[in-house]
A and B are shown apart, each in its own frame.
Chain A
Amino acid sequence: ELKVEQNPLFLSMQEGKNYTIYCNYSTTSDRLYWYRQDPGKSLESLFVLLSNGAVKQEGRLMASLDTKARLSTLHITAAVHDLSATYFCAVAPHTGTASKLTFGTGTRLQVTL
């Protein structure tokens, strides 16, 4: 059974600081996704990572994938309050099928002034 773990579960950081959220998964996968969720809201797609060494950046967020280590990171640069949300990684183990996403536990990010 695929297991997806994130750490930390909760992260409080000051505006302007940098930090990294880690996502480890237990079996081979070639598709990893990052989603953002605001309280009571839906899941907003941030990044799709499809190959080993993939790196994607959008604004202050950068995601990377190391399929050999079964690890993805979401790096936050110079955090701002608007980034406060819960971030989930999700893994799909198979390509080209209707396969489900297995979500991580989520990291609740709180950016303080």
Chain B
Amino acid sequence: EPEVTQTPSHQVTQMGQEVILRCVPISNHLYFYWYRQILGQKVEFLVSFYNNEISEKSEIFDDQFSVERPDGSNFTLKIRSTKLEDSAMYFCASRGQVGLLNTEAFFGQGTRLTVV
């Protein structure tokens, strides 16, 4: 069964460092997303990406964040200068094949980011 894969599963970084979280969405999907979940809290939307550009972003997704789909398969989230409060589980998701736009989003297994 096709799945969304994320790497790494766990990343520890020092405050102020840049991190790149990587995702390979399901290959025929059209829409891509990043969400985050602070420990014990609900899942929060960060950004959606369609047709090689950002469709929507939340207030959390400030200038420190960026996304890219560099090669047609990978979808990356970069945090330029990490802060302690960026510590969370980051989920990548994809959905939407041509003709099946109302399908659910499929989530990757997540990257746990710990900023120390």
Question: Which residues from chain A sit less than 8 Å from chain B, CB to CB?
Answer: 31, 33, 35, 40-45, 48, 50, 88, 90, 95-106
Contacts and interface: CB of A to CB of B under 8 A. Distances in A.
Task: Tell me what chain B mostly uses at the interface: helix, strand, loop, or mixed.
Answer: strand
Nearest to B55: A98
Interface residues of B, number: 26
A101 B105 contact: yes
Given A98-B31, A98-B55, A43 B43 contact: yes
Contact of B102 (A35, A42, A95, A100): A95
Nearest to A31: B102
Main SS class of interface, A = loop
B50 A98 contact: yes
A104 B42 contact: yes
Nearest to B53: A98
